[in-house]
Amino acid sequence: MAKGFAAAGADLVIASRDLDSCRAAAAEIEKIGRRALPVACHVAHWGQCERLVDEAYAHFGRVDVLVNNAGMSPLAPSSAETSEALYDKVLGVNLKGPFRLMSLVGPRMVAGAGGSIVNISSTGSIRPTPNMAPYAAAKAGLNTLTVAFAHEYGPKVRVNCIMSGPFHTDVSKAWSRSEEFTRHARASFALGRAGEPDEIVGAAIYFASDASSFTTGAVLRVDGGLP
């Protein structure tokens, strides 16, 4: 998505917990000819969210688009064996962080020229399984927050959500190309496979741009035809 936004003419703030990864991604963006600011941020910690937003505005002067893409979905053997620390960590990254970032950036967008917020949810929010219940609940909450913030910050700010299915990423490499998943995808998904990372870019740019000027509070499934 960062490369897609850069190719469309955007300068970017790239944030994650790993500053070295942010710097590497920023270097890729600069090769495209756009500016990129790398910032280390753990979104579950609100103080770090505040610092991220302050640095973004100090560096660029404004934020036109916020993409809430941080996520984690560790599996638990059972609900009874899910520790409080794991539960809090999953809810913190997937729900608490996006809530705080929207609450920080939204008012500044309203006070300025407006903007677009794009949340990244998961089809797990509507197809939960027992081993990922906290993650599914957090993403369902993010679907709900999308609608709430769309009403709070409209009409100057649009807030939408991409509900993504399985994609081939570094996080999913342990299972998304496994024989078991491949057989399941071929038998169950309309497209018969997981998505490639660049296949989510079009949806993200649609929500970020004026192409979606009459769309807010929407949750769009990009999942290869989940059954």
Q: Looking at the annotation, which residues are catalytic?
A: 135
Residues in the chain: 227
The pair of structure tokens assigned to 13 is: 């703030």
